[in-house]
Amino acid sequence: MECKKIKAGCESILCSLLLLICPMGVAAIGDTSFSIETQNVAYDEKTDDVIPVVLAADNNYGPQMYITMLSILKNSNADTRYDFYLLVPPDFELRYKNFILELGARHGSKINFIDMGTAFANSSLKKDWPAPAYYRLLIPGLLPNYKKCLYLDTDIIIRHDLTELFNTDLEDCYIAGVKDMPIAMNDAKYLLSINLHNANHYINSGVLVMNLNLMRRDNLQEKFISTAKYGIDGKRALMHHDQDTLNVLCRDRIKFLDLKFNTFPGTLESALNSEGDRRKIQEFYGKKQLRDACNNPVILHFVGAKPWKSHTAMFYDRWWEICRLSPFYEEIFRKYIAYCGSRYNKYNYHRNVILSKLTFGKKRAHYQRKCEEIKKHW
């Protein structure tokens, strides 16, 4: 009955837009009870031909969320349909929502904003880790009409259609992901201490295929919440937060994806610049996986150095190619050049912008060229 009321209410002067948008609301999820209530949710009757993609962000990553979504839609096949479920805090900026809604309408994708209330906002184990990083632990309960879904971080760009990834046969596994070599190599003793007896099976949680049916059947969400809130055995805090939670509770029920589906540019850079590192990476992932990731990665995941902060990040230009197509390009660029050095720094850019508006003729053209030179450099 609730869905019918919503559909009826949508038959208004905004109908043409709302046909492409499926609004969703979720009541506050407090740190004390972690109860979930969904209100005013309208679902399609048929979801088998749609790829549900879940992303999470606060205002610090609103533009990056848009850029990740744009990269998905720009590089998808003509017949691939995506439904986006965006997990955001209550204060998520309206301008970000409006730009994202317009993007979905333009590409025929449904956009579902899920207000996460106070979920994980005051967790004693969270410390400086942002609450949206934990939101993925609640996905099984937030998407009750889906058998599986994709989860993606927002420091990611997609270079190819995601149908192959989504069609991964999960069998009896809870999740599928790519092994996280840096953590497996550097934190092996820690992983052993949290009951992960094979460090080489530890995956990165930035790209996940999630078996929602199986998670719901085994009440995994409640276990996620308890472990995230209280740690291992109710006392041991987790070093890698939500990622440790997923690895600990899904251990032995994880399917491993090829490196091309979650490629760290830093890992590729090490493989290209050091023979010793290349041998280690080949041993860890296999020669074919490394070769495929180098030649044609499906997903680039900028862990560590972010392309909007570091011009040394490998493949940073690929991220900026997508950013230039977004409404946030100038805004991000102005922030980004604060990290520049010498004559390409923030001061010189703004100086040239001002002078280009105060002068005329050849002088104006000169300062405009200076602005473009700085942009081109970065």
Q: Is the pLDDT of residue 6 over 60?
A: no
pTM: 0.80
pLDDT at 136 over 60: yes
* Complete domains list, the chain, with CATH: 2-257 (3.90.550.10), 305-378 (no CATH)
pLDDT bracket for residue 333 (50, 70, 90) = confident
Q: Which pLDDT belongs to residue 86?
A: 96
What is the SS3 assignment for 260?
Answer: helix
Q: What is the mean pLDDT of residues 22-51?
A: 45
Contact call for residues 68 and 79 (beta carbons, < 8 A): no
pLDDT digits (tens, 9 = 90+) for 167-225: 999 999 999 999 999 888 888 888 888 878 888 899 999 999 999 999 999 999 999 98
* Bigger pLDDT: 237 vs 191: 191
Cβ atoms of residues 260 and 203 within 8 Å: no
- Whole-angstrom Cα distance, residue 254 to residue 49? 25
Asked if residue 113 lies in contact with residue 26, where contact means CB atoms within 8 angstroms, the answer is no
Above 60 in pLDDT, residue 14? no
Confidence of residue 9 (pLDDT cuts 50, 70, 90): very low
pLDDT of residue 312: 64
Give the integer Cα–Cα distance in Å for 321 and 160: 15
